[in-house]
Amino acid sequence: MIEATVEPVPDGAPTVGLPCVEGADVAISCLDEDEDAQEPIRVVTEAGRRGLALPGDIQDPAHCLHLIERTVSELGRLDILVNNAAFRNVVDDIQDLTREDWDRAFRTNVYAMFHLSKAALQHIPAGGAIINTTSIQADQPSATLLHYASTKGAIVTFTKGMAEVGLKQGVRVNAVAPGPVWTPLIVSTMPSEQHTEFGSDGPMGRPAQPAELAPSYVFLASQDSRVIAGEVIGVAGGKPLA
C-alpha cells in the first residue's frame, strides 16, 4: 500500500526514476520489512522527492488511521492512495484452510482497504484517486487460493461501489487486476518446485515483473484517466477478465 502526495515537477529537476518524473512524494506502508522498504525510499529521495517508510500491521484499524494521519502530517497532503498489501498462502484442501488464515486474508486484503479508503477520503481533494489491487483470481480463482481469491472478488465489488462514493467529491476509484507477477509473495507462499512453472500457463508464457505493472497505476493516478472510475484494468499477460 502506498500513499503519495503529488506536486508539479519543478523546472530543472532531474528525471531519474519514476517518482521524480511523476512528481510524487511517497509514503510506503510495510509490516516489518523495514530494510526492504528503504530501497524504494532511497530511489524516491535520490530522485529529489520525499519518501517515508511506515512500519506496522494494517490489520489494526487504528494503525490504518495512523498511516493516513502521519502521511498528511509529514508530507503535507494526500492525493493518491494505492491499496496494494495482501496476505495469501497455498492450501491444497479446504479442510486444511484455517479460520485464522481466512480471517487474516480478509483483515489484510479487504478490511484494511476499507479503513484506509475511508480515512483517506477525508483528505484527498477533487482530482485525486484511490487505486485498489485486485487479481485475475477474482475471475479465475484457484481452489488452492480460496481465501485469497475471495478477497480479490470483494475488492472488485468494493471498487465499483466506492467509485460512486468517491465521485461525490471528485475522487476517482479504480482497480488493477494483475495476473501472475514474480514477487517475494510468490517465493514465500509457493513450493519451490513450482517456481519454474509459475506463470507459464498464460498466453505470454511467463509471469510479469512488478515494474511492468507500474504504468497502469500511474495512468489511473494521473489526469489522463480523469473520466475513468469504477473500472478494473487487467494486467494479466493475456488472460481475460470476466
Question: C-alpha dihedral over 41, 47, 50, 52, to 10 degrees?
Answer: -10
Q: H-helix or E-strand containing 146? A: helix 146-167
End-to-end CA, the chain: 25
The answer to whether 72 and 117 have CB atoms below 8 angstroms apart is no
Cα–Cα distance list, 233 to 26, 50, 67, 132 (Å):
23, 28, 26, 10
C-alpha span between 155 and 147 (Å, rounded): 13
Class of residue 101 by CB neighbours under 10 A (exposed 0-12, middle 13-18, buried 19+): middle
148 noted as active-site residue:
yes
The answer to whether 71 and 3 have CB atoms below 8 angstroms apart is yes
Contacting residues for 160 by C-beta, under 8 A, at least 6 apart: 230
Active site residue: 148, 156, 216, 237, which one? 148
Q: Give the residue numbers marked as catalytic.
A: 148
